[in-house]
Amino acid sequence: MDEPTAPVSLPRESADLRPAWVRLAFLFYGGVLAVAVIWRVLVEGEPLLYASARAAERGVRPLPDLAAGLAAAAFVIVFSREITRRTASGQLLAQTLGRLIGSLSLPECVLLALASGIGEEAFFRGALQPRVGLVAASLLFGAAHFVPRRGLVAWSVFSVAAGFLLGGLFAWTGNLVAPITAHVAINAVNLRLLTLEFGREQESPSHAP
């Protein structure tokens, strides 16, 4: 059995910033969703939910589409956990994200996952992918998650791969149900795991129960 990688020492971030950035995140993803709706629905005159007019005629298959999204999410969650457990870059990424995120409650994790999953999928898959294609939309998705910080370089690589997976789901099913389901599930589970494993490390003793 492989031994877990030794923890990487990182500077602690202030937990007091957490309420402010959570509110800003909701506003940001709401803005992203609004841009997607304006672009695809009001300007282009097309339904945001579907990849094409033919897909809109075909409609949503609720159970298969949900199942596809959940299966994709399970694969990504397991894969990311293994990368975190087995590699130094994966552990550094998890520690950096966890300490930036801070100590989130379960409802906050779920609400942030819903906001980011719906907002990003509406824009990158619903509005952007039908115009620029799968490859360009996936690369732009990765670029949008680029942060010039050593511990977060792997996040961009992961985001490009996730973009191809989510975009593939959108192209295959023809609608946003599967990619939104996958995106929300991945973010909800990973946010909760990150805050439980690394986010609470940044809390000062005065905040400890």
Q: Using one digit for the tens of pLDDT, what is the confidence trace for 136-183? A: 999 999 999 998 888 888 899 999 999 999 999 999 999 999 999 999
The pTM score is 0.86
Q: Give the pLDDT confidence score for residue 23 in this predicted structure.
A: 86
Q: Using one digit for the tens of pLDDT, what is the confidence trace for 76-86? A: 999 999 999 99
Work out the average pLDDT over 48-53.
94
Q: Give the pLDDT confidence score for residue 19 in this predicted structure.
A: 61
Backbone angles phi, psi at 175, to 5 degrees: -150, 175
8 Å CB contact between 103 and 199: yes
Domain boundaries of the chain, sorted by first residue = 18-203
What's the chain's length in residues? 209
Q: What is the dihedral angle through the alpha carbons of 6, 8, 9, 10, rounded to the nearest 10 degrees? A: -160
| pLDDT at residue 188 is higher than 80 | yes
Dihedral sign (CA 45, 51, 56, 61): negative
Work out the average pLDDT over 180-199.
93
